Amino acid sequence: MCSPSLMRQVHIPAHVQPPHVHGAVVAEQSHAPAFEEPVADEGGVEPAAQAAGRGVGRRALFRMSAIGGAGIAATATLGGVANAAAATGRGAPGSGPRSSRVVDLTHELGEDFPVVYKLMDQPEIEQVRFIDVDGFNANLLTINEHSGTHIDVPGHFGPGEPTVEQISAELLVVPLVVIRIADRAARDHDTRLTVADIRRYESRYGRLPARSFVAVDSGWWRRVNTPGAFLNEDSGGVFHFPGISPEAAAFLIEERNVVGAGTDTSSLDGGAAAVPLTHQTLLPSGRYGIENLAALDSAPDHGATLVVGAPKHRGGFGGQIRALALV
């Protein structure tokens, strides 16, 4: 938060400028963040050489990463991520991770995001502080944990099971497996990941890594900004969107020891499931789920690492995440 001393100066003008301070004269022009076009088309990935050549100047540190919709992946070359470690120093610093791209698998969460409205209200983002009055801007968020791109933890479906602040950080940085069923989902909106899909994936890439996270790309994430298309409710009030079969969930737990599994839709079970058996199988087993993943087309089938930026509120049964794939 800003300094509490702000209470004493409630009439800061809207055009507050950075101060000219000793040691570094702060020129106004250098403080104007430059907006550039997104570096990737929908579902696309910027060539590494192109991004590396452009570099990231101080005027371009912030760029529109999702202009035009949540379905656009922000990707960039991170040639500078690995920081050559000196031999000296506190602790024993490693060489740092090697990563050439970051893929954002997170939808923007607006008040109009398609939530499962039968079970929760729309998110509210209310501005409660205004820079021309208070000297700064701030929002009050009123959001159900299970809206937007979010995590489900064991306590969501199991009495007394672990809640979100209890997840070990090690389980939030794991190998990412992406299994694609979009072609089938285009024909059958109720289709779900099967054990056969997993075995087919393994016949191509080998056995799933232990402690991996399995994401199902049904192509559904592309529908998020099309009114009605994401929940895809029929005249009888039944939703139709893809999910994961309970059999596949059990296989992933028992036979492959995954840390979790997720979908690019609003339910792990799919929209038409009469009973949430997939939730009931996956979560009480000590695994987590992720729903409403975005831009899975920009992540490779295998070889990436998923970082789950899960929230850490006390007693949480889930919550909004930032899901990033390091490729």
Site residues for a second copy, window 244-303 (CB under 8 A)?
246-247, 250-251, 253-255, 257, 259, 266-277, 279-281, 284-287, 291, 300-303
109 binds a second copy (CB under 8 A): yes
Cβ-Cβ contacts under 8 Å for 4 (sequence gap 6 or more): none
**Token pair 């040691």 is at which residue?**
23
Q: Which one among 10, 37, 50, 132 touches a second copy, defined by CB under 8 A?
A: 132
Closest residue by Cα to residue 223 from 63, 111, 113 = 113
* Shortest Cβ 272–a second copy spacing (Å): 7
188/199 with CB nearer a second copy: 199
Q: Which stretch binds a second copy (CB under 8 A): 140-148, 185-193, 222-230?
A: 140-148
- Exposure b/e, 268-279, CB count within 10 A at least 16 = b: bbbbbbeebbbb
* Shortest Cβ 187–a second copy spacing (Å): 21
308-327 positions binding a second copy, by CB under 8 A = 308-322, 324, 326-327
98 binds a second copy (CB under 8 A): yes
* Shortest Cβ 226–a second copy spacing (Å): 17
182-211 positions binding a second copy, by CB under 8 A = 195, 204-206, 209-211
Token reading at 107: 């939808």
Q: Which stretch binds a second copy (CB under 8 A): 71-79, 185-193, 219-227?
A: 71-79
31-60 positions binding a second copy, by CB under 8 A = 31-35, 39, 45, 56-59
For the chain, the first-to-last Cα distance in angstroms comes to 33
Q: Which one among 148, 219, 242, 262 touches a second copy, defined by CB under 8 A?
A: 148
What is d(CA 297, CA 73) in angstroms, rounded to the nearest whole number? 9
DSSP string, 240-267: ---EE-HHHHHHHHHTT--SEEEESSS-
What is d(CA 226, CA 250) in angstroms, rounded to the nearest whole number? 33
71 binds a second copy (CB under 8 A): no
Give the amino acid at 182: A
What is d(CA 282, CA 252) in angstroms, rounded to the nearest whole number? 9
107 binds a second copy (CB under 8 A): yes
